[in-house]
Amino acid sequence: MTKHDTWVKLKPGNPYESILKLFPGGRIPVRDPFPMERVKTTDGEQLALWIIDLERLSSIQSSAIAKLIAHSSGADAIEVAVGVGGFAMKHEWVDSMECGDEGIQRQKELADFFETAPQPPSARAYTEFYNSQRDRWIEGDEVPPPINSIEDVDPRLRTPELEQHFKMREVETAIVNGNYSVLDVLTGRAMVDSLNIIDPENSYSLVGYDDEFDEDEIYE
């Protein structure tokens, strides 16, 4: 089984608000980079579900979720944790998602599926896609191609937020490799130098920065 790398944040008023303090940044680890599971209610309504990744939950987090679901369903917490084999969340509660290499690759595969499958996708087509995802990414050991820059991301998946993420990653790498002093980092000089390195088509500078400033003066 691969190490999954997708997290979601939930909308205000979600059923998990009382335990979100147990999750750093309110980020809940999930198994898939999209709501892969589909279930029908007794009323015939089809629900899209996200599956919480048990492998990345601490025992405290897992116990809190089990107790929360058990309380709302009238079941025993142990029964919920063992019987279901995982925890599911309705898609309607998810506000945002972030992921790594695996998540980006699987989103590309989802985009490919929607482009090549009959429209709307038939149940058979989705079942084949679902089984492939489960065999390769959940039960198998598929390894995603490395994503080192925005150029490695399928154009269909690129967003301004993702482009900003990769730019900041490049800035952080440039700062680490630049041997800057703590003062350089605090004053923003390291950031400006790094931006000029990774984005040479634009010119960055510190507003109001005095080139004659001697950093030793700060200690006088």
User: Strand, helix or coil at 30?
Assistant: strand
10 Å CB burial of residue 49 (0-12, 13-18, 19+) is middle
Mean pLDDT, residues 194-204: 78
Going by C-beta distance under 8 Å and a sequence separation of 6 or more, which residues neighbour residue 203? 196
CB 126 within 8 A of CB 116: no
How far is residue 6's CA from residue 98's CA, in Å, rounded to a whole number? 6
How far is residue 148's CA from residue 162's CA, in Å, rounded to a whole number? 12
How does pLDDT run across 159-189, given as a tens digit for each residue?
999 998 888 888 888 788 878 888 877 888 8
pLDDT at residue number 80: 44
Mean pLDDT, residues 8-30: 94
Task: Of 52-66, 82-96, 198-212, give the lowest mean pLDDT range.
Answer: 198-212
pLDDT band at 208 (very low <50, low <70, confident <90, very high): low
User: Strand, helix or coil at 6?
Assistant: strand
pLDDT band at 2 (very low <50, low <70, confident <90, very high): low
Beta strands in the chain (DSSP E): 6-10, 28-30, 37-40, 46-52, 87-90, 94-99
pLDDT for 81 beyond 80: no
pLDDT for 43 beyond 90: no
How does pLDDT run across 137-164, given as a tens digit for each residue?
999 999 999 998 899 999 999 999 999 8
Length of the chain: 220
How far is residue 184's CA from residue 193's CA, in Å, rounded to a whole number? 10
pLDDT band at 202 (very low <50, low <70, confident <90, very high): confident
Greater model confidence, 99 or 170 = 99
Greater model confidence, 80 or 55 = 55
Say how far residue 79 (Cα) sits from the centre of its chain: 29
pLDDT for 112 beyond 70: yes
Query: Parallel, antiparallel, or unpaired for β 37-40 and 94-99?
Result: unpaired
Mean pLDDT, residues 98-118: 95
